[in-house]
Amino acid sequence: MVRPRVTVYNETSVDGRLEGFEQDAGRYYRLGFRWRSDAILMGSVTAQNFGPAESSGQQAKTLPAPDRLPVFPGFEALVYEPRPLLVVPDSRGAVRNWSHALAQPWYRSVVVLVSKTTPPGYLEYLERRGIEHLVAGEDRVDLPFALDQLHTRYGVQAVPTDCGGALNGVLLAAGVVDELAVIINPSVCATPGAQSWIRLPPTLTASVPSLTLVEVDRLEDGAVWLRYQVGQ
């Protein structure tokens, strides 16, 4: 099985949380776009933040033309060609705001990872919207198989993540992460119950991988940029 190189990327507080502290989004994306990736892997919860769900009567013609996507002021230099695929595991059919996702300037198109138990109505919805889907897994998305298929079908070689702690943990548990890259923000989380940047599955049976530090950089506000190679 051949799969792309996967880099988990986040910014966290010093206590390992993803929210509840002030972040510089511009810096986060400038550093993240150092990778010229073929696809970006995003969790379904993160994808729902693009905008509200589409109404059931909304027509596919409302989707923006791929060559006329808006570019937000100040971020023009981050858009590169060919733009990466946006890949979202969504076996339960939770994401229904794809018109908002495709209005972003970063992605050329979307591929949704589904399973054999994904509701047929959701697959029909994706077809009406012109969104490609890839069946990978029985009840849940089989991430190693899905990554192999992304390489085989789309030529994907490098995949950074844009997701939360749950998908980060599942990726690590599946043994498909090659690198962890993280900005440690000089802040302590102020939100009770804020999510951790890595949440390993409670049913984890595989051993936790070893990490080798390969880069350290102090940033202008006292934040620290760290990169770890993940042992398999």
Question: Could you report the per-residue pLDDT of 61-105, keeping only the tens digit for each?
Answer: 444 444 444 455 667 778 888 999 999 999 999 999 998 888 888
Question: Cα–Cα distance between 137 and 141 in angstroms, integer?
Answer: 5
CA nearest 74: which of 108, 42, 105? Answer: 105
Q: Which residue has the higher pLDDT, 1 or 5?
A: 5
Instruction: Supply the CATH number for residue 129's domain.
Output: 3.40.50
Backbone φ, ψ for residue 67 (5° rounding) = -90, 10
Q: At which of 136, 156, 176 does a domain end?
A: 156
Helix (H, G, I), strand (E, B) or coil at 100: helix
Structural domain harbouring 121 = 64-156
> pTM here?
0.89
CA distances to 2, 44, 60, 96, 126 from 149, in Å: 9, 19, 27, 24, 19
Predicted confidence at residue 60, as pLDDT, reads 45
81 shares its domain with 3: no
The answer to whether residue 138 is domain-embedded is yes
**57 within a domain of the structure (yes/no):** no
Q: End of a domain among 156, 179, 195?
A: 156
Long-range own/partner contacts, residues 133-139 (CB < 8 A, 24 or more apart): 137/91, 139/91, 139/115
Are residues 68 and 151 located together in one domain of the fold?
Answer: yes
Q: Is residue 59 part of a domain?
A: no
* Counted domains in the chain: 2
Which of 11-20, 45-54, 67-76, 181-190 bottoms out in mean pLDDT, i.e. has the lowest?
A: 67-76
Final residue of a domain: which of 135, 156, 177?
156
State the first-to-last Cα distance of the chain, in angstroms, to the nearest integer. Answer: 15
Q: Cis peptide leading into 82, omega within 30 of 0?
A: yes
Residues 152 and 183 in one domain: no
CATH code of the domain covering residue 169: 3.40.430.10
State the burial class of residue 70 (Cβ atoms within 10 Å of its Cβ: 0-12, 13-18, 19+). exposed
**pLDDT band, residue 120 (cuts 50/70/90):** very high
Q: Name the CA dihedral angle for 80, 86, 87, 90, rounded to a multiple of 10 degrees.
A: 160
96 belongs to a structural domain: yes
Average pLDDT score over residue span 37-55: 91
In a domain, 81, yes or no: yes
52 part of a folded domain: no
